Amino acid sequence: MIIDCHGHYTTAPRAHTDWRKEQKAAFAASLAPPPYPDIPDNDIRASIEGSQLKLMTERGVGLTIFSPRASAMEHHVGDEAVSTRWAHVSNDLIARVAGLYPGRFAGVCQLPQVPGVPIERSVAELRRCVLQLGFVGCNLNPDPSGGHWTSPPLTDRSWYPLYEAMAELNVPAMVHVSAVTNPSFHATGSHYLNADTTAFMQLLQADLFTDLPDLRLIIPHGGGAVPYHWGRFRGLAGMLGRPPLEESVLGNVFFDTCVYHQPGIDLAREA
Amino acid sequence: MIIDCHGHYTTAPRAHTDWRKEQKAAFAASLAPPPYPDIPDNDIRASIEGSQLKLMTERGVGLTIFSPRASAMEHHVGDEAVSTRWAHVSNDLIARVAGLYPGRFAGVCQLPQVPGVPIERSVAELRRCVLQLGFVGCNLNPDPSGGHWTSPPLTDRSWYPLYEAMAELNVPAMVHVSAVTNPSFHATGSHYLNADTTAFMQLLQADLFTDLPDLRLIIPHGGGAVPYHWGRFRGLAGMLGRPPLEESVLGNVFFDTCVYHQPGIDLAREA
């Protein structure tokens, strides 16, 4: 079976995205957000059947690993209550999609990360999604600040509480940033790819997988710049006195093939 | 003739790099830096003949476009006086290399950039290097903050005074960051590649080359992630209502082939 490991709910029903706008406006005005709307199953079906499910069928994809829209996670917006509620309703919507099409979608959750708030605070939502909603992983944002890169590297011990919960639940994380507020960067044109390259280099430099041998991380978008510059990273591992990449990183880190032209896909396979 | 368009003086004489340490220490102590040392020609020859020149001969490279060590530019260190002096002595050393080996090295200058200081203040050193030292270009740091990305995009009008001087002098710039202080990034492992990708996306989004049709920019390290993700950038140009990349960017932007394994080099050629 072909599994698409990197699907986002980019076509979520209007009522869901409209509520998010209201939630943000309410936060800005120091008000409580309005109640989350009732979204009928038919609206969810309409949002999936003409897009994701149609493409899956056309392309022979049996199962899509499916998570909330990455750019809409916006961990830099609001506060912990805003992020927690937004993650909760976004994840619930993913669970409804998975429930409507048994066997076709496996859920991956958005975490309620907030810049400067310890990652421990995201563990409860991970547990809820895996244990109650049947999700198979989470998206982990290495830069919840939205392009200011104020968090410590992913190998810092402050991230370990999440990793330990992931190991206990036996689920991986996809390392995936969200929208960007730094005008230097374009979300999908540079920030996403930069984050992928940045994360890989962080993992190359430290002993995260010696500490946590069962931890599995997926780096999306074909690994950012990494496969194209494989010789650079192989060389850096040597220069920095690190073990060969095959030993130190590649047992725990996986790249997807989300690369949008054939020579790039060929390289990802070959490198 | 084979021209290596991206050489840095990574083997500069000890007296030069030691002076830099003293300059930084003096700045930290609010003291004047010591006098710059006399460096004999023989020390420069010794630093070049066993490394750059030897490799050029072995590999059949006729000419190297040669600039100060990129990671040592350190525009985030000190203040305008520190950056100006450091650029000056580093560029003078490049000129001496070029003078010792006529026809083998063409100089490219380090600019005395400082975060928050207008780029106009770098124009005098560009003029000096081109008009007095015979240099053929400059390295332009899009992030003189060292990994905090506090400058406006390269397409912002605040950069135009440098571009106008470059056009007048008929020289290109290589877009090249320097050392990094943000612990998220590793200089050569992620910051360099991220900056290349970031710069390309900035150029894709705006009309810089409509305003300045003679401006030429080189994006090093094989264009960062760009050739590997050419389909992504082609798609983004369409989605953003920009002209095709061939029209809007590729007449003015050049990638080098500084990619350290064969599949990557092949892709850069093919993409």
Res A271: pLDDT: 66
**Does the pTM exceed 0.95?**
yes
Alpha-carbon distance B103 to B97, whole Å? 11
pLDDT of residue B155 exceeding 90: yes
User: Count H helices, E strands: chain A?
Assistant: 11, 7
Across B234-250, average pLDDT: 95
Q: What is the DSSP letter of A243?
A: P
How distant is the Cα of A159 from the closest Cα of chain B, in angstroms?
14
The answer to whether the CB atoms of B204 and A189 lie below 8 A apart is yes
Cα dihedral sign for B107, B108, B112, B118?
positive
For residues A201 and B205, is the Cβ–Cβ distance under 8 A? no
Alpha-carbon distance B80 to B91, whole Å? 16
Res A219: pLDDT: 98
How distant is the Cα of B16 from the closest Cα of chain A, in angstroms?
24
| DSSP SS3 for B96 | helix
Res A270: pLDDT: 79
| DSSP SS3 for B107 | strand
For residues B209 and A162, is the Cβ–Cβ distance under 8 A? no
Alpha-carbon distance A25 to A148, whole Å? 23
Residue B225: which of B236, B216, B239, B209 has the closest Cα?
A: B236
Terminal Cα-to-Cα distance of chain A (whole angstroms)? 24
Place of tokens 């690369």: A259
Maximum CA extent, chain B: 57
pLDDT band, very low/low/confident/very high, at B262 (cuts 50, 70, 90)? very high
The answer to whether the CB atoms of A270 and B261 lie below 8 A apart is no
Across B258-269, average pLDDT: 92
Cα angle B63-B65-B70, degrees, rounded to a multiple of 5: 145
pLDDT of residue B271 exceeding 70: no
Res B99: pLDDT: 98
For residues A177 and A224, is the Cβ–Cβ distance under 8 A? no
Report the DSSP beta bridge partners of residue B63.
B3
pLDDT tens digits, one per residue of B46-96: 999 999 999 999 999 999 999 999 999 999 999 999 999 999 999 999 999
Res A29: pLDDT: 98
Q: Chain A contacts of B233, Cβ < 8 Å?
A: 189
Res A262: pLDDT: 94
Q: Chain A contacts of B228, Cβ < 8 Å?
A: 222, 225, 227-228, 259, 264, 267-268
Alpha-carbon distance A234 to A239, whole Å? 9
Residue A70: which of A123, A108, A37 has the closest Cα?
A: A108
The answer to whether the CB atoms of A232 and B270 lie below 8 A apart is no
Q: Chain B contacts of A10, Cβ < 8 Å?
A: none
Across B253-258, average pLDDT: 96
Alpha-carbon distance B222 to A232, whole Å? 11
Per-residue pLDDT tens digits of chain A, which is 271 residues long:
999 999 999 999 999 999 999 999 999 999 999 999 999 999 999 999 999 999 999 999 999 999 999 999 999 999 999 999 999 999 999 999 999 999 999 999 999 999 999 999 999 999 999 999 999 999 999 999 999 999 999 999 999 999 999 999 999 999 999 999 999 999 999 999 999 999 999 999 999 999 999 999 999 999 999 999 999 999 999 999 999 999 999 999 999 999 999 999 999 887 6
Residue B66: which of B127, B137, B126 has the closest Cα?
A: B137
